[in-house]
Amino acid sequence: MKQLFTLILIIFFNKAYSKTANNTVAFNEKNIYYQALTEYLDFEKWNRGLTIDTLYIEEDFRITDSLLMNSGQTKFIKLNPEDVSNHVKTKKGLLLYKVFPLRYENGEFSVSFVPVLLSDEKRKRNMNVTGTVSYSVVYKFDNNKFIFQRVEDKGI
């Protein structure tokens, strides 16, 4: 009887407190790409103690078109290639996130992205690109909803 009660509690808390996303094109908090970026921000805050105030995202109309422009205290700024080049030259650098389309692999869905550090060195007059890590926000799909599982960070 005690095991049955424990099982019921686990199922209840899993359903009641799990984060879900419904689709890839909704212009609201249920958008899977918005959810993935929000989960990443939580990951950085709770695992590394970092609070990101501005997240620069490479504009990709298939993915970023439906994003809300902030999550909590973090502002999302979408940049097209011309804006990236100008920003790097005027600000002397930029951490830009490239978001990749939703993937399905080994029974799980994931949204991946790579933060890339771009800098403009005056002496060389070219743009240096440095990327050392990628992130995947992993979901399972249950009852027509994406349910957050974990954030994976992988070295490149």
Residue-wise pLDDT for 107-152, tens only, equals: 999 999 999 888 776 534 445 555 578 999 999 998 888 999 999 9
Q: Which residues pair with 127 in a beta bridge?
A: 120
Sequence-distant (6+) residues with CB within 8 A of 36 are 99, 111, 113, 137
pLDDT at 87 over 60: yes
How many angstroms separate the CA atoms of 30 and 21, rounded?
4
Q: Is the pTM value of this prediction over 0.85?
A: no
- Per-residue pLDDT tens over the stretch 52-82: 889 999 888 777 777 778 888 899 988 888 8
Domain count for the chain, please give it: 1
List, in order, residues 6 or more apart from 19 with CB less than 8 Å away.
Answer: 35, 39, 147, 148
For 141, the domain range is 2-155
Tell me the pLDDT band of 156, cut-offs 50, 70 and 90.
low
127 vs 44: CA distance, rounded Å: 27
pLDDT band at 88 (very low <50, low <70, confident <90, very high): confident
Within 13 Å of residue 65, how many CA atoms lie on the same side as its CB?
Answer: 8
Pick 6 or 156 by higher pLDDT: 156
